[in-house]
Amino acid sequence: MKRLLLALILLAFCLPTTTMAEDTKNPLEAWQPKFDPSGAEYTYILSAISHPAMDGIGVGYRMRDKVWEKSGGRLYIDFRPLAILGGEKDVISKLKMGAVQGMLSSSVAAANVADILGIVNLPYVVDTFDKLDAFRNTPELWEPFAKSTESQGLKVVDVTGYGPYGWATTTPVRTIADAKTVNFRIAEAPVNTDIYKAWGLKFTVMPWPDVPQALQTGVITGLDHSAIVCNITKKFTIAKNFTELNYAQGLFVHMINKRWLDKLPKDLQEILLSVIIEESANSRALTRKQHADQIAQAKEAGVEFIQLSDADIKQLKEMSEPLLNEWGKKIGPEYLAKVRATLDK
């Protein structure tokens, strides 16, 4: 009950089209299954902290419905978004123990499971939709990433996303000099703090639920996130400028408890994994469209979208090199070099 209450409170701050009265009914009413799952032989509890209005999260419901159909009602994906099962740190612990069977973890949180998962958060490495597709579909790049959690009893199956990162700010940021006047909210993760230190920018580490009030009161004057998230969660109502930095793709990493998966009948394993892979690929394609649609909506509402000059982008990349060298020591310098060389072709 406490988890559901937390989800309701979060939703009140996040959704653009619902009222508190509507939220208290059931924030996920529109996504309820059209079948009775009570007869399932097996249940796969899948957790996520974000809202299914983002396709990279909403895909969990499409996986649910397709697995139910393909398994003939034997396997049910009990999808729990909106942090109903707790924050990511807590859920990762539950996932390792088997209390939760699956998780769509933010790539930032997933990097705490295995350093190599942090490669997708590094600046200007997997930074475009095309590079993400190439990374996912090139076995010599994907397999080390996917196998990195097996020693901890977890299997990385696939990734979905929420678009490229940029800066949503209360005043326009057209240059690096402008950025130095902003206090950016960043997520609590080593790679984020390392990036902002390398770039010489002011930042505040802050939980996501605290962002609306912090923006309203001026405690922060900008945030590091994607246009999809900023528009869906109404951050653009205050931060009416967005600098399209595009330095990394926001991703969710789909991880499964390997012990649970291995005990699942082989035919259901195949159904579950094939559906996750198929729907994750579909979601990545749909996220491209959602990115364009959300930007168009934001522009129509008066949000200004800004591009840094080529010279400023070059400077950010140059300032990132020492950071990349340090992270290369964590994830393997040869692997990082191979990913960069392959994706930059």
Question: Are the C-beta atoms of residues 223 and 211 closer than 8 Å to each other?
Answer: yes
Domains present along the chain, CATH in parentheses: 2-343 (3.40.190.170)
pTM of the complete model beyond 0.85: yes
Percent of the chain with pLDDT over 90: 85
Q: What local confidence, expressed as pLDDT, does residue 54 receive?
A: 97
State pLDDT tens for residues 279-295.
999 999 999 999 999 99
**Which residues of the chain fall below pLDDT 70?**
1-25
Q: Please give the backbone phi and psi of residue 53, each rounded to the nearest 5 degrees, phi first.
A: -65, -25
Q: What local confidence, expressed as pLDDT, does residue 11 receive?
A: 46
Q: Tokens 């509890």 correspond to what residue?
A: 45
Q: What local confidence, expressed as pLDDT, does residue 25 receive?
A: 66
Residue 306: helix, strand or coil by DSSP?
strand
Q: What local confidence, expressed as pLDDT, does residue 207 receive?
A: 84
Nearest to 254 by CA among 113, 151, 85, 119: 113
Question: Are the C-beta atoms of residues 166 and 245 closer than 8 Å to each other?
Answer: yes
User: Which positions ≥6 away from 150 have C-beta within 8 Å?
Assistant: 258
Q: What local confidence, expressed as pLDDT, does residue 208 receive?
A: 84
